[in-house]
Amino acid sequence: MSDAAQPTAAEVRAAAEAVKTALDRHLAAVERRSGEDDPAVSEAFNQLAAAAEAYDELLYDRFDEVTPFEIPGAEEALPPYAGPEEPNAISVLIRRDYTVAEPQRLLAQAQRVEAAEFDDVVDEDDAAGTVPGALGILFGEFEPDEIASRHKEFGLEEGDSTLWVTAAEEPPEAGEWLEAPFEHIDPQQVVCRFDVSAVFDDEVSDGEDDIDFVDEDEDEDEDGDGDGDGELEALDAEK
């Protein structure tokens, strides 16, 4: 930024005073809040975030210094809930990300499911012989929650996940949103959301990486018959 465009020291001072005022207003709103979702607290929070961000920018532009504040972006904060007080319908939106950590394990599990389904040996050229085909078979066979709880068995590694609950006056018409299920979500209709991400972990708990998972060879040894049917039965148990 050129010297002509730099903010003055007085402007930086004014921005600092605005942060102090916003802090006082936020504390006062918190002290008077009527409940967990008090709109006055949300409004004071947003004003404080905006004032802190403005001060941070001016401070950097004028003095090349930064603040220790971490200002949440607009996309990270939901607006206050403005949906029906007594919703007659809700929608649950879930996204879970996985890494295909062990493709061969994924393919093997899909081939076992397909072999059991058709009571025949699976050709590698069939759907279960490709990663997309294997994913289609496994997610068609098992509920998403079961895949989430058994993801290591399928050669998957968990990534970020999020769950949003939205409210509505009336349920949508059957088939209305199937072509674009995650579009046109009104943030003010979101009742609550729950996010899981590695970025939220301050530290890994001791011993977490020491958990042992039974793998295919160990499972065969426990059955004592060496034919590997034990794991297949577990896969098919909930069909």
Q: What is the pLDDT of residues 195-207, one digit of tens each?
A: 888 876 644 444 4
Identify whether the C-beta of residue 55 lies closer than 8 Å to the C-beta of residue 7.
no
Query: Order of strands across the sheet with 190-196?
Result: 89-100, 156-168, 190-196
Average pLDDT, the chain: 80
Percent pLDDT > 70 in the chain is: 74
> In this predicted structure, what is the pLDDT of residue 77?
60
Q: How confident is the model at residue 2 (pLDDT cuts 50, 70, 90)?
A: very low
Integer-rounded Cα radius of gyration of the chain = 27
pLDDT on residue 209 = 46
Average pLDDT over residues 104-115: 92
Q: Residue 166 forms beta bridges with which residues?
A: 91, 190
**Between residues 127 and 224, the one the model is more confident about:** 127
Q: 162: closest CA among 189, 136, 190, 143?
A: 190
- Which residue stretches of the chain are H helix? 9-31, 39-63, 103-118, 131-141, 144-149, 216-223, 229-236
End-to-end CA distance of the chain: 64
Could you read off the pLDDT of 56-96 as tens digits, one per residue? Answer: 999 999 999 988 877 655 445 667 888 899 999 999 999 99
Query: Residues 6 or more apart from 174 whose CB is under 8 A from it?
Result: none
User: Whole-angstrom Cα distance, residue 138 to residue 235?
Assistant: 10
Q: How many CB atoms lie within 10 A of CB 190?
A: 19
pTM of the model: 0.52
In 10 A of CB 221, how many CB atoms?
12
pLDDT at position 39 is: 84
